Structure 1
């Protein structure tokens, strides 16, 4: 698989290209192992660390051939979900240069925010894009420097929108969690004329501009339900499996863009 997926990889030296493919094969066969655990022998371990420590290329160069193959796979499907979320890379207790704080200031690690393409039938197609960064430490006044982390959601949509131009027969849907419920993201999509749809879990119960203080969720729940969905909720930490029935509501609304204009969207609510 790695030889086909990374056939176009160009790290400036054929030996580096071969080493990358060998390392990807090793890590793919043992995805939960450490680098020493995945490599076969001391010589391979040393070669892997030399490869990863080479500053003549970076992780974006390694991602590029996979991204191209992912885009080609997407073209074969009528609808593709471009999902985004953030995960922590926790290296707490390890002495590694460049780490920053995580959810707690005492934790050390980095953040990874990929865009993962899948079909509605849950077939994985590949990684399209990623942000990776370490947070800056808070200063004496408790303020943290660096770029606003909300920017990654807006840039994520913009890159999916750019990709849509090269996939005229595929409908792209940008999917994100509550942290992406950002008005600037919706405005950006509107101004680009929605080359890609967006589906974002709502965080803010916004006041509607035409409802005398009426809020978004109340407006939608005042409509007739479209029907019901029934599924079994899987067990989780401290939670037993159970059957769930939810009524589905959907309503087209407009929210203020705070510039004298509006952003149109369809709000969907599933309520048990």
Structure 2
């Protein structure tokens, strides 16, 4: 079902958000509807009235409002649509969100080096698409984080850190979340990832758990017990299939 009305869209995604108070959920629906109706606008411009502006900022500053609870409501809302699809592509990528205002003092580095002046946060997102109709279903998972200064180190430091504490764990984390959230239809989901995900740990996880995936190759790996390398092996398979 294609939802074109932004109020209906907001209600579909967030009406079951558990924020501890029904009034907070209603405010979330209103803010979502207003922002979706005014794509690219600030809260001030999208809200339309002083009362709406003040209500929106009170909501955002409320310590009792948990962003994860909002996200969970939106992610779970996809389940009915996902169960109707025979094959789903889970398209994954990481976005860098950079800011220039005073709020950056509380955010992390977004550059490759600690000395970088760029500040912001990162978001690893999984976009669910019906492979047959090419219709976008929605977000299947999302992880957001800020880099901490203490996590910036040498390559050797990163090698000694546990896999689960590294940024590269984001690929497996997304699959773990989806396998829990969409357990009954996980066989229909194909993770599609770029070359950054070409890691032994991630590929091993997907293989061991019989999950479907497509990874853009970065490394010329040995792919079987005979010692065949990836590229020659694929070419041999193509010759075998197509003659």
TM bucket, shorter chain: 0.7 to 0.9
**2:166 equivalent to 1:125:** no
Rounded to whole Å, the distance in 2 between the matches of 1:140 and 1:174 is 29
Q: 1:177 aligns with which of 158, 180, 194?
A: 194
Q: Which residue of 1 aligns with 2:119?
A: 108
Q: 1:167 aligns with which of 182, 185, 199?
A: 185
**TM-aligned CA deviation for residue 23 of structure 1:** 0.2
| CA distances 1:50-97 after superposition (whole Å, capped 9, x unpaired) | 101111121111122221210111001111111211001110x21114
TM-score, normalised via structure 2 length: 0.82
Q: How does 1:123-272 map to 2 (within 5 A)?
A: 123-137=135-149, 147-167=165-185, 171-192=188-209, 194=210, 196-211=211-226, 214-222=228-236, 223-224=238-239
Identify the structure with bigger relative contact order (alpha carbons < 8 Å, sequence gap 6+).
2
**TM-aligned CA deviation for residue 205 of structure 1:** 1.2
- Going from structure 1 to structure 2, the CA distance change for 1:111 and 1:141 (only over 3 Å counts) comes to closer
Rounded to whole Å, the distance in 2 between the matches of 1:24 and 1:155 is 27
Structure index of larger Rg: 1
Determine which structure has the larger helix proportion and give its number. 2
Determine which structure has the larger strand proportion and give its number. 1
- Equivalent residues, number: 223
Q: Which residue of 2 aligns with 1:31?
A: 39
Rounded to whole Å, the distance in 2 between the matches of 1:27 and 1:61 is 19
**TM-aligned CA deviation for residue 211 of structure 1:** 4.4
Rounded to whole Å, the distance in 2 between the matches of 1:41 and 1:164 is 40
Structure 1: gaps of 5 or more residues: 228-248, 250-272
After TM superposition, the structure 1 stretch with the greater mean CA deviation from structure 2, 54-63 or 21-30, is 54-63
Is the CA contact (8 Å cut-off) linking 1:102 and 1:110 kept in structure 2?
A: yes
